Structures are given as C-alpha cells and as structure tokens.
C-alpha cells in the first residue's frame, strides 16, 4: 500500500495534488510520502514484536536527510555502507549506537570515523578487514564491536546484480570457514565479538531462500557458542522485495517474514537486527516527469519524457519494471495505446519501457513512475550535463523541497580550470 491515489481525477501524494508540486518545482522530480515511509517501517517493527530487535533502515536505498530524520524519529536505526553514509546518519540525528556499518571495502579512515563517533557494530566481511579493524581499535585504545558476515551459499533467486549470498559473490566469509575466522577474531584484543551477520540479496520475492540461510545461521550460532563465543545478536540483513509489477504472486509481507524469523531463530534468545531499505522507501516515492514529444516512428510511437536514465537508472541497469501512470486520471473505458517510453539522453539504453500500453498522451502532460523511492535519487547522476532533479517530501497537505535542483552555473562551476589553460 502507498499514499499516492487519484482524487477527483488527479493523482495526489497524500493530500497534495502532484500537479501542484510540478507547477512549483518543475519536472522531473521525486516526491516521497511520509505516511508510506512510516507505515512500512512500522510493519517491520510490528513483525518482530515479542523479540528483542532493532530495524536498521538500509540507507543506500534513499539517503536524503529528511527521509533519515523521519525514520529515526520513529525509532529506526541505520545500516550504512560508507563513511559518507555514516556522516549522513549522524547529521540526521542518529546516535552512533544505532548505526551498523556494513560493506566489503571499509577504509582505515572510515573505520576511525565510526570508532570516534560511536558505532553499534561493524559487520566484518573478510579477514584482512578484521586485521585492520583490530589494529586501528588498539591504536585508539578501544574495542570494536563486531559481527562477522557469513556467506551461506544460498541462491536468493533475484537479479544477478543484487544477489549477495552465493559462493561466487564478493560478500562475506564462506560459512564453512566461519568457526576458524571467529577463533581468529577472539584472539584479537581490539575486537569484541557480539554476533553473526548474513545478507543474501535484494528484491527477494519468496521466503524459501531466507529459511535456508537462517537455518544455517542457527546451526552456526550453536556451534560458535559451543566453541566459547558469546553470540547475543543476529544481523539478518534485508532484501524483502516490493511489487513493482502487480501480479498474482506479490512478494511476501513483512508479517510473513517476521514469523519466519521467529520460527527459525527465536529459540536462540538473540537480539535480532534487520536492514530493510527497498520495502520501506520503494513504494513511498514517485518520479514525476513531463511528456516533451509524442513521436511517430517506424511501426511504433514514442513518448519522449524530460526524465531520463540519469534520473532513474534502474530500467537501464537492471531491466527493471516501473508502473507508469498519467497524473490526470484517464477517462473510463479509454483505448490503451502502446508506446516506447524514453528519455532525452543520447543513448538507446535511455528507455524506460517498450510497447507499454498507456492512455493516449500529449506533449505537456505529466506521468508518474511508481515505486521509485528506492535506488532512484541515490543512483542518479549528471550525465549529459543534466542537473540532479529535486526531491520533495509530503506530509498530509504540506510539501517541502528536501533537495533543490542545482542551477546550471552551480553544476558547471564545480569544475576548475588549471592555470595553464
């Protein structure tokens, strides 16, 4: 469920007509719903009710400060994967003891920043990272709290570019070697072992891969405890998918996922951390864009939009589907027309959909890309010297620009010309 609905024939974001936002900020732009963000966070929180737990929002999905502050004030922790994300979380008011640091390539500077500012735990991905973390922690006179990310060799049955739990993926330590690596960590005075971490991928649409992975984690936890390690926390990652395309087989609900966690891991008495990102932010956002031209080609018609692959790269990068709807509700009984829906970037890859049935549209009309709140703005770029597009947050009948569109001068003047030119 989201809070983007037609009222009186016009698409609204909560109680705000989307066309009113377009008139004020121009197109294209992203718009996020506070009510949807909070609803999806609470679904996860409620799914784990009865267990000691913390829902850490995976902020790589959408790291705007206003989004982070909204979720933090609701009780969310944060999962970060870079020093920049750590700084963003702290700037949004998230205390260090509610921030989990993930990622395969933590640098020495990033580790120091987190140890100085406070951290809930590092999710360690490799032996070399563990050695560096121990060295820096001892140098600073502290102990770094860690979980070790294990790779359970489980096929998440998702897109190859976002699968992270198979043996050929770059993430984590093979679960078969985990006991040896924990033994190594226990001998390092700069480290404090607190738990186990696992994350098998993103946009999972069934629970079976989770069940297999969590059964392996449960078995490993009991083995580690038998080896003398204190395991009090299980970080289970995120990855539950959202229904980009409405089908009869939509992804499982957070309540189903929570029941699985309780069934497979509840007997261990551990604190549970989960790190959802896409399911919290994805359906909470739209990208709104305007039709520039309707072009007739050889055997097909094109809708050429002012939004492009640099603004929303998921279709070009992942062949991802987004539902695309007109901002003005079509008349009942309209005859759909197939369009190739494309942007103005000088690449054939700048294609959002091919032969998509749509209501007949004209230049100047607005369309909205649904489920664009995750991995939209955060993955955008200035390719073709197109300025980053604004982000807008709606709450009830109010809206605010939470990241403005830079001017062309601001964009160009970030470059510097050497004295010899």
Structure confidence at residue 332 (pLDDT): 87
Phi/psi at 343 (5° precision): -105, 180
Bridge partners of residue 314, in order along the sequence = none
Structure confidence at residue 165 (pLDDT): 43
Report how far residue 138's alpha carbon sits from residue 140's, in angstroms, rounded to the nearest whole number: 5
Structure confidence at residue 417 (pLDDT): 96
Residue 169 is given by DSSP the state: S
Structure confidence at residue 161 (pLDDT): 46
Enumerate domains of the chain plus CATH numbers.
Answer: 4-31+282-412 (2.40.37.10), 34-279 (3.20.20.10)
Structure confidence at residue 95 (pLDDT): 97
Task: Say which residues have a Cβ less than 8 Å from residue 415's Cβ, sequence separation at least 6.
Answer: none
Phi/psi at 55 (5° precision): -90, 110
- The answer to whether the peptide bond before residue 50 is cis (omega within 30 degrees of 0) is no
Token pair, residue 330, equals 């079509």
Report how far residue 259's alpha carbon sits from residue 130's, in angstroms, rounded to the nearest whole number: 33
Structure confidence at residue 158 (pLDDT): 47
Q: Contacts for 21-26 with beta carbons within 8 Å, 24 or more apart?
A: 21/288, 21/392, 21/394, 21/399, 22/288, 22/290, 22/327, 22/366, 25/390, 25/392, 25/401, 25/405, 26/390, 26/405
Task: Return the SS3 of 287.
Answer: strand
Measuring CA to CA, how many Å separate 39 from each of 66, 162, 371, 400? Answer: 16, 25, 15, 20
Token pair, residue 301, equals 């018609």
Catalytic residue, chosen from 346, 417, 418, 419, is 346
Report how far apart the first and last C-alpha atoms of the chain are (Å, whole number).
56
Structure confidence at residue 163 (pLDDT): 47
Instruction: Extract the residue ranges of the chain whose pLDDT is less than 50.
Output: 156, 158-159, 161-167
Token pair, residue 283, equals 């359906």
Bridge partners of residue 265, in order along the sequence = none
Structure confidence at residue 248 (pLDDT): 55
Report how far residue 396's alpha carbon sits from residue 58's, in angstroms, rounded to the nearest whole number: 25
Whether 56 sits among the annotated catalytic residues: the reply is no
Structure confidence at residue 216 (pLDDT): 94
Angle at 313 between CA 85 and CA 236, to 5 degrees: 45
Residues 214 and 251 sit within 8 Å (Cβ to Cβ):
no
DSSP string for residues in 66-120: HHHHHHHHTT-EEEESSHHHHHHHHHTT--GGGEEE--S---HHHHHHHHHH--S
């Amino acid at each position: 469920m989201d809070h983007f609905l037609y009222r009186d024939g016009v698409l609204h974001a909560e109680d705000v007509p989307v066309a009113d936002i377009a008139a004020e900020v121009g197109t294209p732009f992203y718009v996020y719903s506070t009510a949807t963000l909070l609803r999806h966070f609470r679904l996860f929180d409620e799914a784990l009710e009865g267990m000691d737990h913390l829902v850490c929002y995976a902020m790589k999905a959408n790291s705007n400060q206003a989004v982070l502050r909204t979720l933090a004030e609701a009780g969310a922790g944060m999962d970060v994967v870079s020093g920049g994300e750590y700084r963003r979380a702290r700037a949004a008011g998230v205390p260090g003891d509610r921030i989990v640091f993930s990622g395969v390539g933590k640098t020495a500077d990033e580790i120091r920043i987190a140890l100085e500012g406070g951290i809930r735990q590092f999710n360690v991905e490799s032996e070399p990272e563990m050695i560096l973390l121990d060295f820096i922690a001892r140098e600073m006179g502290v102990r770094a709290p860690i979980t070790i990310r294990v790779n359970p060799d489980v096929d998440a049955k998702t897109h190859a570019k976002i699968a992270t739990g198979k043996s050929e993926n770059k993430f984590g330590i093979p679960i078969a070697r985990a006991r040896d690596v924990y033994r190594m960590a226990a001998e390092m005075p700069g480290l404090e072992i607190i738990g186990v971490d696992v994350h098998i991928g993103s946009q999972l649409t069934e629970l079976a891969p989770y069940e297999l992975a969590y059964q392996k984690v449960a078995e490993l936890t009991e083995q580690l405890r038998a080896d003398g390690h204190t395991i009090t926390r299980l970080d289970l990652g995120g990855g539950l998918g959202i229904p980009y395309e409405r089908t009869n087989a939509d992804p499982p609900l957070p309540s189903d996922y929570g029941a699985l966690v309780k069934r497979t891991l509840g007997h261990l008495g551990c604190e549970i951390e989960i790190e959802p990102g896409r399911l919290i932010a994805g359906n909470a956002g739209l990208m709104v864009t305007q039709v520039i031209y309707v072009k007739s080609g050889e055997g097909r018609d094109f809708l050429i939009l002012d939004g492009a692959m640099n603004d929303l790269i998921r279709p070009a990068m992942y062949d991802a589907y987004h539902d695309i709807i007109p901002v003005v509700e079509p008349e009942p009984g309209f005859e759909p027309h197939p369009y190739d829906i494309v942007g103005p970037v000088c690449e054939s890859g700048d294609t959002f959909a091919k032969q998509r049935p749509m209501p007949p549209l004209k230049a100047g009309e607005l369309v909205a890309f649904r489920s664009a709140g995750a991995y939209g703005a955060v993955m955008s770029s200035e390719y073709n010297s197109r300025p980053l597009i604004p982000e807008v947050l709606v709450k009830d009948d109010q809206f605010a620009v939470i990241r403005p569109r830079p001017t062309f001068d601001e964009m160009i003047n970030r470059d510097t010309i050497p004295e010899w030119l």
